[in-house]
Amino acid sequence: MFAYWRQGFTVLVLVLAGSVWAPASRAGTEAAPIDTATIEKNRKANEACFACHSAAGIKNPPKADLDLANKLKDSRLEPALFNPADHGVMDCRQCHAGNHYDPYPHAEVGKNETAPCTECHAAKVMRLEPQFNASVHAKNEGLKEKFTCNTCHNAHENIVALRLKDPHKIVAQDNHGCLECHNSDLTFAKFAPDGEKTPGVKRKRPDIDTIHDWLPNTKLHWNAVRCVECHTPEVAAKKMLSHEILDKEKAEKKCVTCHSANSTLKVRLYRHMAKDEQQRLGFTNSVILSNSYVIGATRHPVLDGIVIGLVILTLAGMLAHGAIRIVAALRRKGNKEQAK
């Protein structure tokens, strides 16, 4: 009897658990959300790595004569940056071939065993790989092999736009990904292919502000919109931004794409906030207005109506006044002639 109940209870638990876990596992190849207990466990495990891989660790190494200041001088790893990031819930060893990194010195083989993005994001990679392959960087013969997902995506720091929310932060993060190369001769040279006419000599980096000198207030734009706003083809609302980076022929040059009531910014930078649109104080595109006043896009239909109405009224008033004057003058002239 008791055994029967126990069996029944187990089945019940399994069924309940099944219904809870099914949606998560149905995501299949996609990275599943991680529960709080696991996050706690991962954070604890990562402390072992941060003992060296952090500013504090470099200053106070767990062992003497590790020479961390020199060996880790280019590292930006930091719990404060890693933990809030997209991958901050994970154990470092999920990407960095586990056992190779527990001891130090790390095993040489570990270097080649960083988990590729596909391992956990197969569906997304499949969707965006054709776009990625059509982009200027993948089509450039001398650049192709060096250009991967983590060239733009910092696996330790990036926060997806949806969670980042604040458009200024999204712009700063995403533009940093491009400007890291396009605004730095040092990094650019590491990736730049040889010039067509000058084999053996790296192509020079064109100055980013000079290229875009047709865009007034260039610096202001860099802080308010992303490179990908103009350098990717438009996609349907709610769809993920395209990964096809467009060359100078295809990039967006028309100002009214953003500077008009039907601004593309709604489906790009402000895509995640579109549902928050409440026409605050009656403004069109008021989600944008919380961060940027965009001439042509963030206007007030009622105010515009009043202004246009007043202009029409004034014009009509003047025309009517003029018409009465003419009629009155003609009348007077007629009267005078009669009087003669």
Partner 1 sequence: MSERIYLLPLWIRVWHWTNVLLIITLVVTGISLHFADPKLPLVEFSLAARIHDIAGFSLVAVYGLFVIANIVSGNWWQYVPKPPGVLERCKVQGKWYLWGIFKGEPHPYRVSEEQNFNALQAISYWVIMYMIMPVMLLSGLIFQFPQLAPDRLFGFDGLLPVAIVHYLTGAAIVLFMIAHIYLGTTGKTATSMFGTMITGWHEH
Site for ligand HEC in 87-146 (CB under 6 A): 87, 89-90, 92-96, 101-102, 104-106, 110-111, 114-115, 117, 119-121, 124-125, 128-129, 132, 136-137, 140, 143
Q: Which of partner 1, ligand HEC, none is residue 16 near (CB under 5 to 8 Å by kind)?
A: none
Cα–Cα distance measured from residue 27 to residue 114, given in angstroms and rounded to the nearest whole number: 23
b/e for 1-34, b at 16 or more Cβ within 10 A? eeeeeeeeeeeeeeeeeeeeeeeeeeeeeebeee
Check binding of 339 to partner 1 (CB under 8 A): no
Using CB under 6 A, which of 81, 172, 188, 300 touches ligand HEC?
A: 188
Binding mask 270-309 for partner 1 (x = CB under 8 A): ----------x--------xxxxx-xx-xxx--xx--x--
Candidate residues 179, 235, 267, 289; the one interacting with ligand HEC per rule CB under 6 A: 179
Residue 325 interacting with partner 1 (CB under 8 A): yes
**In contact, 100 and 109? CB cutoff 8 Å:** yes
Angle at Cα 121 formed by Cα 182 and Cα 148, nearest 5°?
25
E strands of 92-250, at which residues?
Answer: none
Write the CB contacts of 139 (distance below 8 Å, at least 6 apart in sequence): 133
Site track for ligand HEC across 301-340, x = CB under 6 A: ----------------------------------------
- Extract the tokens encoding 224: 């308010």
User: What is the helix (H) or strand (E) element at residue 312, kind and residue range?
Assistant: helix 301-339
Instruction: Among 160, 237, 324, 330, indicate the residue that binds partner 1 (CB under 8 A).
Output: 324
- The DSSP bridge partners found for residue 194 are 202
- Per CB under 8 A, contacts with partner 1 among 86-105 are none
Q: Fill in the per-residue mask, 208 to 247: x = in contact with partner 1 (CB under 8 A), - = not in contact.
A: ------x-xx--x---------------------------
* By the rule CB under 8 A, 198 interacts with partner 1: no
Residue list 269-288, contact with ligand HEC (CB under 6 A): none
When binding is defined by CB under 6 A, the residue of 43, 182, 299, 300 that contacts ligand HEC is: 182
Q: What residues contact 279, with CB distance under 8 A and at least 6 apart?
A: 286
Close Cβ partners of 87 (under 8 Å, ≥ 6 residues apart): 95, 155, 156
- Residue 164 binds which entry of ligand HEC, partner 1, none, with Cβ cut-offs from 5 to 8 Å by kind? none
